[in-house]
Amino acid sequence: MGGAGIARAGFTLVELMIAIVVLLIGALAAFGTQVTSGQMIDFSRDVTVAVNDLEMCMEELLLQSADNMPIVYPEGAPVPGYQGLHLRNEDLVPTYVNWDAGQPIPDPLEIQLVATWLDGSGRIQRQTLTTAKSR
């Protein structure tokens, strides 16, 4: 009755360690995917919020006549009430594409509204909305 005829069931230590390494690699890959997915969701939310703010601000600008718009909302100056409204360091700044200061207001007046903000990583992001206002 020697020990040579006894069969052992189960995994060896080497097989167990290889299985653990494979599972860890899979878990790390899944975790990395989740982190990236979370960042993309945050970025998408920020863009949606910025576009909503741009639309709301553009509607406010369009309530002005084309002749008064550059006076009430000066080119290059942040629109009051929209600074840091929903996003970190958010600014909405109008530009009048086909108009130069001191010149007559063209018809139609092309308005470009640019939103800038800092994302979760501290990078500057921009979104633009353009329309035209005629008399």
The tens digit of pLDDT for each residue in 77-88 reads 999 999 999 999
On the question of pLDDT at 3 being above 80, the answer is: no
pLDDT at 23: 94
CB 131 within 8 Å of CB 59: no
The tens digit of pLDDT for each residue in 106-117 reads 989 999 999 999
The tens digit of pLDDT for each residue in 23-58 reads 999 999 999 899 889 889 999 999 999 999 999 999
CB 90 within 8 Å of CB 82: yes
Residue with tokens 């309530």: 63
Mean pLDDT of 87-107: 92
pLDDT at 5: 60
Rounded Cα distance between 57 and 53, Å, is 6
pTM: 0.75
C-alpha distance from residue 7 to each of 2, 10, 17 (Å): 12, 10, 22
Mean pLDDT of 86-110: 92
